[in-house]
Amino acid sequence: MRFPGIARRIIVVLALACLAAPVLGAPTSHPSQADGRPTVGLVLSGGGARGVAHVGVLRVLEEMQVPVDYVAGTSMGAIIGGLYASGLSADEIARAIENMDWNAMFRDHPDRKDRSFRRKSEDRRLLVKAQPGLDFRTGELKLPLGFIEGQRITLAIKDLTTQVATVSDFDLLPTPFRAVATDIGTGQAVVLGSGDLALSITASMAIPGVFSPTRLDGRVLVDGGITNNLPMDVARSMGADILIVVDISTPLHPPEALSNPLIITDQLTSIMTRSNTERNLATLSSRDILIVPDLGDITSVDFERAQDAKEEGYRAADAIRSRLAAISLANGDYQRWRNLRDSRTELPPMIEFIDISTDVRLDPAILRDKIEHPTGHRLEPGQMDRDIGTLYGMGLFEKISYQVVERDGRHGVLVNARAKRWGPDYLQFGMDLEDDFEGDTLFNLRVAYLRTAMNSLGAEWRSEATVGEEPRLFTGWYQPLDQDQLYFVHPTASWGKRNVNVFEDGKRVAEYRLTEYGLGLAAGRELGTWGEVRAGYRRSEISSSLRVGEPSNLDADYSEGVAFLRFEVDELDNVNFPTEGHWGFVDYGWHRDAFGDDGSFDQLAYGADIVLTWDRLTVRPGISGGTSLNGTAPVSRLFELGGFLRLSGLERNELSGEDYLLVRTVVYRRINKSEFLPVYFGGSVEYGSIGDDVDLQDGKAAGSLFLGVDSVIGPIYIGGGWAEGGNGTGFMFLGRRF
């Protein structure tokens, strides 16, 4: 039986559709088919940083006036292909990649400037960045499904594709586009042809175990390279007659390089990727054009070599200009094709409403109030990024995305704030380790339990336990009072032990153990993300016992009742080794017998740091001090100096008194490029005085040299310090110092 030509074409298309992977989106029809020329499909493979070579290929195609009618890409190929399909030129994509901080793209935690002040305050005690979830009912630990959620890169793609913000059918993009992902539940390839462009691209590059899977339309999606790294079949099913295929897939490691589990895992992934790539390459026809850039030793994570990859892509495409010339267009025809492509882009839409969708037990109005993007104006991606950064900084969400939607002829933004799958209960960890290499060691291990979003206003309950040299128990309920989460009350209860040293002539002669338990109640106001003011009352009972040495006249048993006022500012970009920002506080306490205090005195404490950076060199000048007024402070409330960065070279807390003043400048320089384990070399110059009445002429000069590492378990310092008078000591710290 013979079929007419058109019927035969329909049967072929239907057969290909049946054989293809599941498709989310309708088959394409593109206006370029009307000119009667063969249609061209561009196929871009995955390969991480190697995929920047695709940009060089695109530049040659533009120079040769080769029309691209369809684009299909996987992983990094989906990023480059999606940006091109959205209307960007090769040069615009190149500039975007050059300006992109790829190391930041692959860091999921929000910028510290965007975090709420409450989250910032945790940094100084809870050093470990990982925060596993805890099912309190079963005791089960819950972990994220990947190291990276893809928050930053999704927003970056959103910013670059604003010109097609209202397009949900990828056939209606300036160039019809498909991204390929893998359904981790079924192992099938999934072709994404509709929906949110940025989320589809992110799904295509979600490397299992590295990126958390993307959930779309009931599917759990990961990197498409696992099933279809070179989606030639997808481009053909879209309608392409001729394929330009760019293969930048990662080659296998040689046997001698298989030296650790990470490399073995990468090898297994490469084997799966290469296997499906070879199957697709076997379908190349004589009309198709294959481009394989010589990327040499550029790896999938070598984003610092993006320029090299782009140049190799250009060189590989430039070498086959004679073949590309066969499908290039004359000036007039190419300009008409460009005009048609450009006509599918538009100005950012007018935003008439902003809605919030969230599964967190929190009044959506609270989240809405944190979004400052105005309605009645065109979409401003930068402002949306800042708003979403503020929401993300609350620490409650796994991922926050937004999408332009249309309702009743009006465009608006739907913000989807998805709760952490491993929340809302979390464990947090901290550690303090101090060793002077002379037998004086301090060690504390800290664990905290945090329960978030306990009511519609966002109440939190935190309990903390410290074991070691300075054991402590703490619990507190943080209750916002208003929809803006500005005002709060914070009742607390605590118990702890700490040591007080007694020195004579620079030698420690005794050590007392203080035990303190108390209750507190504070009320205050958060000042955006940069500061906080609070006032309250604290009632404590303090007792002492001799631990080491000869009994002295120390009497630390004390009943304390104090009303206090505290103001704090924190705009540091990193609490361990900041490169910009400032920090400061003022704390004033009124101790009165009417409040239940055994004494009657006032006490003022203050401190401030400013951070300045030139290239890799950071200078951090600072001042701290305290004074006791209108009475005599008990020994339990004396100020202390001594130890690293607090008159380095002296023993820890060697000096004490009712008043003190310390000025210092800390300088450090980044000596490596690793984003995962930054290493610094630095030093300090310090001058301080302490006693019953501060006299700077009687102060001590001190200094230090150190090697610092910003590790995943907290900052580590190794070095030595010296102080005026010939004092000197070595040290190793794990924990907060600045």
Cβ proximity of 312 and 294 under 8 Å: yes
Query: pLDDT digit string (tens) for 221-231?
Result: 988 888 999 99
Note the pLDDT of residue 153. 86
Query: pLDDT digit string (tens) for 548-566?
Result: 777 665 666 899 999 999 9
The residue among 45 and 442 whose pLDDT is bigger is: 45
Q: How far is CA 309 from the centre of its chain?
A: 26
What beta strand segments (E) does 485-578 contain? 487-504, 507-527, 531-549, 558-570
Q: What is the largest CA-CA distance in the chain?
A: 113
Across the range 278-298, mean pLDDT stands at 91
- Residue 373 CB-half CA count within 13 A: 29
Query: pLDDT digit string (tens) for 411-443?
Result: 999 999 988 888 888 888 888 888 887 777 888
**Tokens representing residue 451 in the block:** 């329960």
- Rounded to whole angstroms, the Cα distance separating 679 from 717 reads 10
Cβ proximity of 128 and 712 under 8 Å: yes
Across the range 588-609, mean pLDDT stands at 95
Say which range, 130-139, 371-380, 381-390, has the weakest mean pLDDT. 130-139
Instruction: Answer yes or no: is pLDDT of 34 > 60.
Output: no
DSSP per-residue codes, 588-649:
EEEE-GGGT-SS-EEEEEEEEEEEEEETTEEEEEEEEEEEEESS---GGG-EEE-STTSSBT
What beta strand segments (E) does 62-208 contain? 70-74, 133-135, 140-142, 146-148, 177-183, 189-192
Instruction: Answer yes or no: is pLDDT of 312 > 90.
Output: yes
Q: pLDDT above 90 covers what percent of the chain?
A: 52
Across the range 528-537, mean pLDDT stands at 95
Query: pLDDT digit string (tens) for 72-92?
Result: 999 999 999 999 999 999 999
Instruction: Answer yes or no: is pLDDT of 14 > 50.
Output: no
Angle at 20 between CA 15 and CA 26, to 5 degrees: 90
Note the pLDDT of residue 26. 39
Host H or E run for residue 411: strand 410-419
- Rounded to whole angstroms, the Cα distance separating 212 from 519 reads 42
- Rounded to whole angstroms, the Cα distance separating 587 from 607 reads 9
Instruction: Answer yes or no: is pLDDT of 195 > 60.
Output: yes
Beta bridge partners of 513: 499, 545
Beta bridge partners of 42: 71, 244
Which residue is listed with tokens 């430039």?
A: 318
- Which has the closest alpha carbon to 416: 431, 437, 402? 402
DSSP annotation of 186: T
pTM to 2 decimals? Answer: 0.78
Average pLDDT value for the chain: 86
Angle at 159 between CA 155 and CA 164, to 5 degrees: 115
Sequence letter at residue 302: D
Query: pLDDT digit string (tens) for 91-112?
Result: 999 999 888 877 677 676 778 8
Note the pLDDT of residue 32. 46
Instruction: Answer yes or no: is pLDDT of 278 > 90.
Output: no
